[in-house]
Structure 1
Amino acid sequence: MRGRKTPWEHGGVNGTLEELVISRTLRVPTPQGEAGTGEVAARQFDAALMSAGFKLSRDLLEWLSGLYEGDVIDVAVRVLKTVRTMAGDHVRHNVYFRNFPRNVPDTVDFWAECIQKWLLDPVSAADVRSAASQGWLNLLDFPDYGRYLHTYEEMLAAQDDLIASAKDRVTVLHLGESLDREVEELYVALAGSVTPLNDADLEALRVLAEHCVAGRQPDAIPVRENRAIVNAVRVKAGMPLLLDTVTDVLRLACALSDGDVTLMEPTRFRSLGRPLRRALLAGLDEVVRDSPAKLGDVSQYREEWKRLGERLHPHEFPAWPHAADVFAIARREKTARSFAGRVEMLVGEGDVAGAARLLGGAPGMLFRSADRLLRLTSGDERDAVFEAIEAAASGVSGRVVLSLREHLLNRPEKPGHARVFANRHGRGAVVVDARPPLGDDVRERLVALLDGEVARRLPEPGHLVVDPNVLDVALPLSGKATAAGMGVLPRGSVSPVEGELLRFFIYWKQAKARTDFDLSALMLDGDYLNPTWLSYTSLTEVGGEHSGDITSAPDGASEFIDLRLREIPARVVIPQVNVYSGEGFEQVAESFFGFMLRDSEQKGRPFEPRTVRMKSDLRGAGRVALPLAFLRGDDGRWRAKWLHLFLKGHIDYNQVEGNRLTTAALVRAVVERRYPTVRYLTDLWASKAGKVTVWDGQVPDEPVTFVGFERPQGLHEESRVFTPENLRDIVPA
């Protein structure tokens, strides 16, 4: 019954800066302190790190060994706190069934035991009579259901020690430069990123920008959201603003009001002091004065401009009449034809080539419209559209070029195929693609143009060294398609899963209201049919166990699912996190998902940080989270396909049984979708390289361009390195 869990339903500032550097670069800013003999403390620090799956590089261990012991201990305390948070080991992970994964009962037997205790409990007599009269049983009324019946220490005492394995994760921490230099480099990298950042990185950028406002700045800030964050810091410091569109000013106002700089969600604008209002209106006036055509952009966010005008009071500043025009257009007192409107007028008149030439002044918009324009043309007019695209190519951002390339990878030859969409908040949807085909000749011509443009922009790599394990990682064309966390890859990436036991987990801590998250696993065959699942309604299924249902988390709660990969008959396993009741993913104080891999003989407590392969924040607009899927190939090997998706779900009572069809359709669409990968880029890069080497563990003596999962120790100091931590930098500008 909906609304109840029914047994019969299946279903300090420097510390912050240092933490940002370590978590995003795996570099420890050069530890400072007195010279001494800290070798013993450094090795103890290294051993403590290894229990969490981390290790000091040789250079970092050597540096710490030359410091005073007390200074080494101070560094160790800070760094251990950071890395344990990265791995999810900063909280206590208890389980409902103390011996999990051993002795997990059959679901029906467990519920029968709960009912028996309930019936025998004299305190619950009134509840029993009420249930008998209404004909239903509520799991939440059972005195032993949904809450821990033992302490964390009692759970640990019931578990065997973890047996170390050579397959356990070891993430190396490298010696960085000074804290100021590392902070500056990270700030420049985030601010100058050519791809949008996720929410966690945007917040990190704000902190870094406040520290670096008077220092070195990136050559350009191409992503508008990043520019808004930087401008919010600059305007408070009385520095010149970076504005070239009216929408830049609107985003800045959102940033000053702690609103959504992506403009996806409405912002409640704050009352701003007169100096800030003067700065925004002066900047707005300058943008419009220099290019009056930009007034056409106002109508896209008409309501937002009207609300902002109520806060800025432009009538109080007659010296800036061009700024006043923006708000007059928003109120429909004046008119300005938008650029998009002029394009649509030409298309409506049948002058598609003219529309393409006009779009040449907005190269990004032209590339986003390329499919449509080419479908509407033929012969000489189509050639004219291609000429416009070729002429504008150099002015398009690399991210947009690669996005169009991805679009063509998935352009069906015939209508009727599934088409998957995911918005900036990770909300996924699948629709039928009804567009007519482009034609092979058109597609091939456009593909050749795009590949040539990407290759042209790639810098000379010199000696290119590529780790083959990273080749199937999708290029991060948007940080919105990657959750914040450790070991997280962009949506569409494929990575190997090596181990006999797969265990995934969630942790959540409610902020104000009682909150119940449910971890489930949907298992499907190769055709995404014949579903079975593990959840609170199905504690033991073929090849797996559920740790038990926790229904409230005032002090934090965890749930686990254990899968023996060799025993699973399914070909697809989809971990799923359902908001059953209470706060959503964006309202709870904290929530994250992750998975561990172990060999069968390792044993250990339910959560062992050095076996954690991935841990990601759960932050999204839906009520059902789909972090990734596990797929078994024809070769029998398991691989992970990264999703980072959310389903809208219901306000309450979401269960795997109720959304399995939607989940299966969405996951299948993402799994079958093709993404531009590191393989695609390195294949183009190889043609410009002086030498190409497949990484075999041997460190070259010369500077190299290295692309892989981890930075090797001992690389030449002038080498350029791309790992998942900075993979966004591999996308050409």
Structure 2
Amino acid sequence: MSWDLEELVISRTLRLPGIDGPAGAGETAARQFDAVLMSVGFKLSGELLAVLSGLAPEFVIDTAVRVLPIVRRMAGAHVEHNVYFKNFPANVPDTVEFWAECLLDALGDELAAAAVAEGLEQGVLNLLALPKYGRYQHDHAEMAAAHDELIESAGDRVTVLGLGRSVEDEVSALYLSLAGRTTPVGAEDLAVLRELALYCAQGPQPDSIPVREHRAIINEVRLAAGEKLLADTVTDVLRLACLLSEGDVSLLRPTRFRSLSRRSRRGLLAALDTVIAEQPAKLGDVAAHREAWKRLGERLHPHEFPQWEHAALVFAVARGERRAPSFASRLEALVAAGDIAGAAELLRMAPGLLLRSVDRLLRTSGSDTEREAVLAAVESTIGAVSGRVILSVREHLDNRDGRAPRVFANRMGRGRVLPDTREPIDANVLGRLRRVLDAELRRRLPSPGVLVIDPDVFDVALPLSGKAIAGGLGVLPRGSVAPVRGERLRFFVYWRQLAERTDFDLSALLLDEDYELVDWLSYTSLTAVGGVHSGDITEAPEGASEFIELDLSKVDAHAIVPQVNVFSGEGFDEVAESFFGFMLRDGDQRGLPYEPRTVRMKSELRGPGRVALPLVFLRASSGEWLVKWLHLNLAGEPEFNAVENNRVSATALARAVVDRRYLTVGYLAGLLADDVTLWDGQTFEQPVTFIGMERPEGLPAGSRVFTPENLGDLIPE
């Protein structure tokens, strides 16, 4: 069994698998294991502690040696976090004073003084020419010696590790969950699914694979095994061809198709032939990816396989030798002619597209008769629409009042904001649509029995898509809101360059209630009311960290928007490693700048943008602070990205997400059951359905548990 697979189970399920060793007196070793785990914010569940206590000490120690590096990576504690100002958050100087100090130091060095003089002749002070600027002036041990030990607090994070089944069973369950997920997952999870699909090829398979990208990964395994592909559209085959060439399964970027084996070509062409033979109208889908099909045809050589004449038609359409009007073109023709009733009738053949088009059809309807035709078509076909599409449209309807701008985020997390200039839709019509969608969702959701919910999870957004959301500890879907319980907020970035000098800059915007700029923290503004910056680091061959701490009781702002700017060098997808997160501390806990048990969230930094906007902190009307997840990025510039230059676009994106209404666990709970039991640590005699931030101990056997790790399983098909 690969250790990597065991690590996947622990990091994604918070369960420790494979605890099956020789019996012995392992109680002391187990308690020592638990104590070390607590130093990084983790703890053994009571059940797991009891099982380990009954095993041989050598087995317990071996288990601890394997598990500790995993949880340290989960919390970001696997690397050393240094700071430029070694007493941070104390004794951070004024920015200008610090620059002047660095300049005076440089003037004492002949080479540095010459470089400074050359810059000043051009009217520029090049900070990078100052030997004392941007590079650690002490090692980690010297920095650590300058800090008192962390004082333990009841508010420190404690993440419980539960008892898992065998590694094989846990891996199979993880595979089935990912493969059968009704919502798309991010690039990292797609890579995990691909590895698990190969490992689990001979084991149980999901009953259905609703997400097309997931289906392509399963088809890769089926193709290698000589089994029939799961394909009901020509695009299913195209996705698989992209995957075989290590290309983009989402079809957002062009794929350079490789030469394929004859066996692979036969499998792809056979699947194409079956799709077109059974549904000739599917030829209309070719036009959407015409150029890709032409390039793929050069690799598949369909003329070598005359027995699959229907497959050859796909490439004839791509080359323009055969006409096959797409479904979209037929729809556009009807809309352009003003025949909205006809368009609604046509869309009955594509219920998902009908629901996604319902706003447009209703806006362009010229009469009550046409609006009724659209609504009737939706009501008669809603049962054939996927649960994810229903929820997405339901969320769209909640934001259709035009009071907030429209926020768009593509699959790579690139965000943009546009004013809502669409014509309004009658409130009665919107109400009728909402009732139709709610009724269908309620029909599909299973009976939960006794539904128990942790109040903290009510405002967690439903994970309608995992695209552009990096994995990590404590990460929630875009739009999720959680309370901030702590007096001191400290967020951080860590990066390690791969091949060239790379400078990431951690910054934060402080905004008032109108989202106007109050102040900012960055390398150009090391101090602000209630906040300090740990100092600029301009290269990271061995890794580097930057921190910002804010005393929330002193911050004179309504919103705090952290951001990570790529100032120069490698981007988020190019560095060897990078991650962002935040910590919370009570009062004067002291400790090192990075204390893993105070980390509330840590996520990988990935994506093509040069400016990352992970989340926003908000002051509620009650005065309490909240955090809302953004998972967005800006394209930025190739170099020299800075908070001062992108504050307008970053502020607009943050405000748009804050103002947008997201469907949450609370909404779904209202559909699941009329009565909800709020969890406050009580015990239960009978199995329950529990939804919370973490799995509680002591639930009766047979209980169903949903936490952020598997919240997507709540989305109905």
Cα contact 1:413–1:439 (8 A) shared by 2:
no
Please point out which of 672, 684, 696 is paired with 2:680: 696
Query: Is contact 2:187-2:468 (8 Å) kept?
Result: no
> 2:509·2:517 contact (CA, 8 Å) conserved in 1?
no
Partner of 2:525: 538
Inter-partner Cα distance in structure 1 for 2:225 and 2:148: 57
By how many angstroms is 1:600 displaced? 2.0
Is contact 2:477-2:629 (8 Å) kept? Answer: yes
Determine helix, strand or coil for the equivalent of 2:79: coil
Helix, strand or coil: the match of 1:537? coil
Partner of 1:601: 588
- The answer to whether residue 713 in structure 2 is matched with residue 729 in structure 1 is yes
Verify the 8 A CA contact 2:135 2:538 in the aligned structure 1.
Answer: yes
Aligned partner of 2:401 in structure 1 is: 412
Q: Name the CA distance, whole Å, in 1 between partners of 2:52 and 2:298.
A: 57
TM-score by length of 1: 0.96
8 A Cα contact 2:506 2:564, kept in partner: yes
Identity of aligned residues (%): 64
Other-structure match for 1:508:
495
Distance in 2, Cα, partners of 1:409 & 1:353: 25
Q: Supply the AA of the counterpart residue of 1:703.
A: P
Assess if the C-alpha contact under 8 Å between 2:37 and 2:68 holds in 1.
Answer: yes
Aligned residues, how many?
A: 716
Aligned to 2:392: 403
Deviation (angstroms), 1:413: 5.2
* Superposed counterparts of 1:53-452, under 5 Å: 53-377=41-365, 378-412=367-401, 417-452=404-439
Q: Distance in 2 between matches of 1:239 and 1:612?
A: 47
Residues 20-39 of structure 1: per-residue CA shift (max 9 Å, x gap): 11111111113122111111
Paired residues of 2:412 and 2:467 also in contact (CA < 8 A): yes
CA distance in 2, matches of 1:255, 1:553: 34
2:695 maps to what in 1? 711
Code of the aligned partner of 2:376 = E
Which residue type is aligned with residue 588 of structure 1?
A: V
What aligned pairs does 1:486-501 form with structure 2 within 5 A after superposition? 486-501=473-488
Please report how far the alpha carbon of residue 238 of structure 1 lies from its aligned counterpart in structure 2 after TM superposition.
2.3
Q: How does 1:623-662 map to 2 (within 5 A)?
A: 623-662=610-649
For residue 700 of structure 1, give the secondary structure of its aligned residue in structure 2: coil
Separation in structure 2 between the aligned mates of residue 453 and residue 611 of structure 1, nearest angstrom: 43
Q: Deviations over 1:676-713 (max 9, x none)?
A: 111111011123xxx53111211211100011111110
Q: CA deviation at 1:153?
A: 1.3
Answering whether residue 651 of structure 2 is matched by residue 667 of structure 1, we say no
Q: Which runs of 5+ in 2 are unaligned?
A: none
Cα deviation, 1:296-346, whole Å, max 9, x if unaligned, reads 111101111122122222222222222221112112122211011111122
> Within the alignment, does 1:467 sit opposite 2:451 as a pair?
no
Q: Distance in 2 between matches of 1:401 and 1:203?
A: 27
Q: What is the identity, as a one-letter code, of the residue corresponding to 2:50?
A: E
Read off the aligned partner of 2:595 and give its amino acid letter: E
Letter in 2 for 1:719: S
Q: Does 1:681 align with 2:665?
A: no
The answer as to whether partners of 2:116 and 2:129 remain within 8 angstroms in 1 is no
**Distance in 1 separating the partners of 2:499 and 2:287:** 39
SS in 1 for 2:564: strand
Moved more, 135-144 or 26-35: 26-35
Q: Deviations over 1:189-228 (max 9, x none)?
A: 0000000001111111111111101110011000001111
Letter in 2 for 1:288: I
Q: Counterpart of 2:543?
A: 556
**Post-superposition shift, 1:481?**
5.4
Q: How far apart, CA to CA, are the structure 2 residues paired with 1:583 and 1:622? A: 11
**Aligned residue type for 1:83:** V
Q: CA deviation at 1:91?
A: 1.1
CA contact (8 A) 2:493 2:547 kept: yes
1:565 to 544, 548, 552: 552
Structure 1 unaligned segments of length 5 or more: list them: 1-12
Q: With structure 2 as the length reference, what TM-score do the two structures score?
A: 0.98
What is the DSSP-based 3-state SS (H/G/I as helix, E as strand, rest coil) of the residue aligned with 2:406?
strand
Whichever residue aligns with residue 58 of structure 1, its letter is: G
Q: Which residue of 2 aligns with 1:15?
A: 3
How large is the RMSD of aligned CA atoms in angstroms? 1.2
* 3-state SS of 2:138 partner: coil
| Residue identity opposite 1:408 in structure 2 | L
Give the Cα separation in 2 of the matches to 1:131 and 1:471.
56
Give SS of 1:699's match. coil
Report if aligned partners of 2:572, 2:607 keep a CA contact under 8 Å in 1: yes
SS at match of 1:570: coil
User: Which of 36, 40, 47 in structure 2 is aligned with 1:48?
Assistant: 36
- Asked if the contact 1:504–1:594 (Cα under 8 Å) also holds between the matched residues in 2, the reply is yes
1:65-86 per-residue CA deviation (whole Å, 9 max, x = no partner) reads: 1111111112112211111111
CA distance in 1, matches of 2:402, 2:643: 34
The CA distance in 2 between the partners of 1:366 and 1:543, in whole Å, is 52
Distance 1:716 1:265 in 2: 48
- Counterpart residue identity of residue 409, structure 1: D
Q: Is the 8 A contact 1:246 1:294 kept in 2?
A: yes
Paired amino acid for 2:638: I
The residue aligned with 2:606 is: 619
Residue 348 of structure 1 and its aligned partner are, at CA, apart by 2.2
Task: Check the 8 A contact 1:413/1:438 in 2, yes or no.
Answer: no
How far apart are residue 490 of structure 1 and its match? Answer: 0.6
Query: What one-letter code is carried by the residue in structure 1 that aligns with 2:704?
Result: R
2:536 partner amino acid: D
Task: Tell whether the 8 Å contact from 1:481 to 1:490 is kept in structure 2 after alignment.
Answer: no
Amino acid in structure 2 at the alignment position of 1:573: I
Q: How far did residue 239 of structure 1 move?
A: 2.5
1:41 shift after superposition: 1.0
Cα distance in 1 between the residues matched to 2:56 and 2:423: 71
Give, in whole Å, the separation in 2 of the partners of 1:677 and 1:125: 59
* Secondary structure of the corresponding residue to residue 567 of structure 1: coil
Aligned counterparts of 2:570 and 2:481: Cα–Cα separation in 1: 32
Distance 2:296 2:471 in 1: 31
- Aligned-partner Cα distance in 2 for 1:442–1:240: 45
Map 1:26-37 onto structure 2 (within 5 A): 26-37=14-25
SS of 1:480's partner is coil
Deviation at 1:448, TM superposition (A): 0.8
Q: What is the CA-CA distance between 1:451 and the residue it aligns to?
A: 0.9
Paired AA for residue 701 in structure 1: E
Write the letter of the residue equivalent to 2:444.
R
Render the CA deviation track for 1:617-641: whole Å, top value 9, x for unaligned.
1112211100000000121100001
Amino acid at match of 1:257: S
